[in-house]
Amino acid sequence: MEESKLIVIAIGGNSLIEDSKHVTVSAQYEAARKTAHHIVRLVQAGHRVVIAHGNGPQVGFILLRAEFSRSILHPVPLDSCVADTQGAIGYQLQMALRNEFSKVGLVPQVATVVTQVEVLSDDPSFKKPSKPIGSFMTKEDADFHRLNDGWDVMEDAGRGYRRVVASPKPVSIIELETVRTLVEHGVIVIAAGGGGIPVVKHADGLLEGLEAVIDKDLAAALMAKELKADLFVISTAVEKVCLNYGKPNQKELDTIGLAECQQYVEEGHFAPGSMLPKIQAMMDFVKTTGNVGLITNPENIYGALYEGKGTKIVR
């Protein structure tokens, strides 16, 4: 790792909200600062960095505010919610990174790119929305939104009802060349936050925002591939990928190849709403580029490159 590498890092919700009891803006900033500290170490080592981030809880907060104020304010479309969180979280990460850089005597530029990500209008997920968003509702509220707002709603394991939306596959990063230009000029870039703002491109080339959610890790993997990143890192809640997670026979994985990854996927070792999309995104990157992927937690981002931490995925 002595050579300068382009590293795309996808940071998850735990990098911004450490626990459900500390969700204020100031608490989120402190969580972002801790993650920024570890990313700064990579820049100190000479690497270029592009950062993608999750936004699930933050979008939920926006939707909940809109729900409480629905009698006096207009509803906020989901694509606008994603755009809002890209700006707010990008601001927190920009400040955190700049402050952490200042502590070590570095002054690189950091910029957030509000990023649109193209999806296809005929993506199968639009026919059967299944991605839960927002807070739980009573049946009465769920029926109200189904009838008046056209929401798809689903009962969730006896805990109440939630809105569900499509989660289409990302096919292109609209602002890719903007990100590439910034990276080539030495800027630390924050892009494709929350998986990107989902848009569809019509036959005349015009874009239109959609009420959907793009998986953050899949969008980050696409960006990493298009930028020809040397390394793709997914930061999550655990240091290493595990088999039989949470069971007495839990086994941590240090290095796994694509064939081994596929075997574990088929055997059902990875939870669909948790580790599975991360593994799938990482397999896609490694298969396409032949480069190495890493999955670890925020505090081991640097250690995964230099100290044998985390789980490496290799071709």
* Residues labelled catalytic: 13-14, 131, 216, 278
Report the distance separating Cα 301 and Cα 281, nearest Å: 18
Angstrom distance (rounded) from CA 80 to CA 86: 10
Please name the amino acid found at residue 212. Answer: A
Alpha helices in 77-175 (DSSP H): 78-103, 139-148
Residue with tokens 């000479």: 46
Residue 77, classed as helix, strand or coil, is: coil
Cα(152)–Cα(150) distance, integer angstroms: 7
Beta carbons within 10 angstroms of residue 23's beta carbon: 16
Q: How many residues are recorded in the chain?
A: 315
Instruction: Report yes or no: 85 and 101 within 8 Å, Cβ to Cβ.
Output: no
Q: Where are the beta strands (DSSP E) in the chain?
A: 6-11, 48-53, 110-113, 116-118, 131-137, 152-155, 161-165, 172-173, 188-191, 197-201, 207-209, 231-235, 242-243, 251-252, 255-257, 292-296, 311-314
DSSP annotation of 19: B
DSSP state for residue 230 in the 8-state scheme: S
